[in-house]
Amino acid sequence: MTTTAADSTLRHGLVGDAPAPWARNYARRLTLTDSLVVLIAVAAGELTWYAMNMGSLADRLEWGEVATKHTVVSLALFAAWLLVLTAYGTRDSRIIGQGTLEYKRVLESSLMLFGVFAIVAIILRLDLGRSFVLTSFPVAAVGLVLSRWGWRQWLVAQRRVGQYSARALLVGSRHSVEHLADQLSGQPSAGYRPVMACLPHGTSGSTIGAAHVPVAGALNDVTAVLARHHVDCVIVTSSDELSPLAVRQLGWSLEESGTQLIVAPALTDIAGPRMHTRPVAGLPLIHVESPVFAGRKAWTKTVIDRAAAGLAVVLLSPVLLAITIAVAVTSSGPIIFRQQRVGLGGETFTMFKFRSMKVDAEAQLAALQAEQRDAGNQVLFKMKNDPRVTKVGGFLRRYSLDELPQLFNVLNGTMSLVGPRPPLDAETKAYEKHNFRRFLVRPGITGLWQVSGRSDLSWEDSVRLDLYYVENWSVLNDMILLGRTARAVFRGSGAY
């Protein structure tokens, strides 16, 4: 990088490995709450010890000596805990706000500390560990994760308005940069905000992608662009014009400024657990595991699905009865709407829903399709203020209560609690070849499409989310999606 570029980055305080100002500010907030949580946890262990031993030490002098020693251990544990959280990188700018990865690192560092603490207590024969293990660790584990979760909600809200995000310069071919810009702009919670791009033969003044990211120049203008503008990271995507040597030299030029170099491979919609990076002959080779559709993992999902659906039917039976009465009293026709959908292996099945439309809804469909001018979804028919929906049906749809009978589909094995959206047979006629991969797993009552916009999604986004789920599903992610579904349903937005 030129002297001008170095001077520019010095003015922004980004020399060396120092994180961006927003990351330092956020890390200070985490340090404050981490300290408070650990202090409460250690104090809880201290009080527990006093409660357990207050009656066993009658001699005042003996009591004072033991209590003093315990307090010293408490203060040492407090300091060691904060040190481990820092040393383990729990506030690193690369993982803050990343959710599961951040929580995992917090728990792993705390567990490691208590392992060392238990070993030291045994070696030194310190009868001080039980109160900490039984009280301090669980209190801190829960408190730290909850505090990090709370801060993450705040951070996501800030990122949605363009704050607390890394300013990114995108470098690569036009198609790759456009895809990356749209993906990052569409998910501000990821923490990367594309602010400009350098393309092969690019000229400043134009924009790229739906996010309208400004083009700052060509590929050989990257160093000059960095000298004129402040960015936190450079994200390099695939391009025939970028040789391995050019990328390597770019990394060297970024060293003195502290600007991060990030390489985005051509892989898309692959979850982290399926990818493993292994350096071979100086090349960072990414190993991608094949998705799992059978075996122990799939059997576990089936058992959990049916057990949870059975329990839900029992617990929700008063709600099911109330909806049944409401549908029967307010409109004529059957209470349960039955419709043929396409499920596992491309086989059709009967899906159950509470009827939310008038009896002649199907007869009116063709006319409404002809009137619809929404170009955002060419395959799925979705209409706000659909005249066929009854008043009770509108309420049921808003909160997804009309889908509760699908619990019986889960019980009979035709659906899952979480999975791709079950399509109509007519919709599959418009499928491209890769769309049929959604039939490798059972369709779900809810899924990524349900928590990512529901009826407001375009057809392309619906397909992309369904395929992402099919490729990367896991029991843990199913649990997370069920929690996100509950939140989306209570908000009552995006469904019609």
Residue 148, SS3 per DSSP? helix
* Whole-angstrom distance, CA of residue 69 vs CA of residue 377: 69
Residues 93 and 242 in one domain: no
Residues 350 and 452 in one domain: yes
> Is residue 284 one of the residues assigned to a domain?
no
Q: Is the pLDDT score of 7 beyond 50?
A: no
Q: Which of 257-271, 315-329, 355-369 has the lowest mean pLDDT?
A: 355-369
CB contact at 8 A, 189 and 97: yes
Per-residue pLDDT, averaged over 310-316, amounts to 94
> Is residue 286 one of the residues assigned to a domain?
no
Structure tokens at 20: 């961006």
pLDDT at 13: 36
Residues 479 and 348 in one domain: yes
Percent of the chain's residues with pLDDT above 70: 80
- The letter for the amino acid at 84 is V
pTM of the predicted model as reported, rounded to 2 decimal places: 0.67
Number of H helices, E strands in the chain: 18, 12
Residues 96 and 149 in one domain: yes
Residues 249 and 393 in one domain: no
* Whole-angstrom distance, CA of residue 118 vs CA of residue 126: 9
Per-residue pLDDT, averaged over 214-230, amounts to 86
* Whole-angstrom distance, CA of residue 258 vs CA of residue 253: 10
Q: For 487-490, which contacts have Cβ atoms below 8 Å and span 24 or more sequence positions?
A: 487/451, 488/450, 488/451, 488/454, 489/399, 489/400, 490/399
- The letter for the amino acid at 172 is G
- The Cβ-side half-sphere exposure at 352, using a 13 Å CA radius, reads 16
Residues 151 and 170 in one domain: no
* Whole-angstrom distance, CA of residue 165 vs CA of residue 163: 6
Residues 137 and 173 in one domain: no
Bridge partners of 263? 236
Question: How sure is the predictor about 123, in pLDDT bands with cuts at 50, 70 and 90?
Answer: confident
> Please, which residues have CB within 8 angstroms of residue 283's CB and are 6 or more apart in sequence?
none
Out of 31-45, 86-100, 199-213, 285-299, the most confident range is: 31-45
Structure tokens at 495: 């469904």
Q: Which of 221-235, 266-280, 383-397, 418-432 has the lowest mean pLDDT?
A: 266-280
> Is residue 92 one of the residues assigned to a domain?
yes
Residue 266, SS3 per DSSP? coil
> Is residue 12 one of the residues assigned to a domain?
no
CB contact at 8 A, 425 and 489: no
Q: Is the pLDDT score of 4 beyond 50?
A: no
CB contact at 8 A, 1 and 257: yes
Domain of residue 187, residue span: 166-266
Neighbours of 289 (CB within 10 A): 11
Structure tokens at 204: 């400043």
* Whole-angstrom distance, CA of residue 45 vs CA of residue 62: 20
> Is residue 42 one of the residues assigned to a domain?
yes
Query: How long, in residues, is the chain?
Result: 496
Taking the CA atoms of 194, 199, 203 and 208 in sequence, report the sign of the dihedral they define: negative
Question: How sure is the predictor about 47, in pLDDT bands with cuts at 50, 70 and 90?
Answer: confident
* Whole-angstrom distance, CA of residue 249 vs CA of residue 254: 9
* Whole-angstrom distance, CA of residue 247 vs CA of residue 245: 5
> Is residue 463 one of the residues assigned to a domain?
yes
Q: Which one, of 231, 238, 221, lies nearest residue 177 by Cα? A: 238
CB contact at 8 A, 327 and 392: yes
How many structural domains are present in the chain?
3
Residues 324 and 472 in one domain: yes
CB contact at 8 A, 215 and 208: yes
Q: Which one, of 478, 443, 463, 100, lies nearest residue 297 by Cα? A: 478
Residue 273, SS3 per DSSP? helix
Per-residue pLDDT, averaged over 82-90, amounts to 91
* Whole-angstrom distance, CA of residue 333 vs CA of residue 330: 10
Residues 194 and 126 in one domain: no
Looking at 143, 160, 177, which one is the last position of a domain?
160
282 — phi, psi (to 5°)? 80, 5
Where do we find the tokens 């040789």?
A: 243
CATH number at residue 262: 3.40.50
Looking at 110, 142, 160, which one is the last position of a domain?
160
Looking at 160, 185, 203, which one is the last position of a domain?
160
Residue 2, SS3 per DSSP? coil
Residues 232 and 311 in one domain: no
Q: Is the pLDDT score of 417 beyond 90?
A: yes
Structure tokens at 425: 């047979």
